[in-house]
Amino acid sequence: AQTVTQSQPEMSVQEAETVTLSCTYDTSESDYYLFWYKQPPSRQMILVIRQEAYKQQNATENRFSVNFQKAAKSFSLKISDSQLGDAAMYFCAYYVGYGKLTFGQGTILTVHP
């Protein structure tokens, strides 16, 4: 079974600075999908970014980008120019199939003004 590990329970960053959230996973598949979801205090989970394993290029969505290292099974999220609205719980997730996701433990991100 696939597993996802987020080793940073909490992270903090100053507004306008850059922060990187770590995620590692374990799988025997060669083609798969990875996601980062954000859960703000409102509890509404929002998709931040997705990566397809067969694509060499790292995904980017505005201030959010990933560092996808397939051989190392690492999938970190970089947030540039951090904003107060980025404060949330962030979950890394592996797409299992049939729409199912396996989630990591989550990282709480605090943004200091």
Partner 1 sequence: DVKVTQSSRYLVKRTGEKVFLECVQDMDHENMFWYRQDPGLGLRLIYFSYDVKMKEKGDIPEGYSVSREKKERFSLILESASTNQTSMYLCASSSRAENTEAFFGQGTRLTVV
Contact 90, 48 (CB under 8 A): yes
Contact 51, 75 (CB under 8 A): yes
Q: Smaller CB distance to partner 1: residue 65 or 102?
A: 102
Q: Which amino acid is at 72?
A: A
CB of 11 to partner 1, least distance (A): 15
d(CA 3, CA 74): 12
Q: Which is nearer to partner 1, 80 or 89 (CB)?
A: 89
Q: Which is nearer to partner 1, 28 or 113 (CB)?
A: 28
Which range touches partner 1 (CB under 8 A), out of 13-21, 22-30, 78-86, 90-98? Answer: 90-98
Counts of helices then strands in the chain (DSSP H, E): 0, 12
**Positions in the binding site for partner 1 (CB under 8 A):** 4, 6, 9, 33, 35, 42-45, 47, 50, 52, 91, 95, 98-106
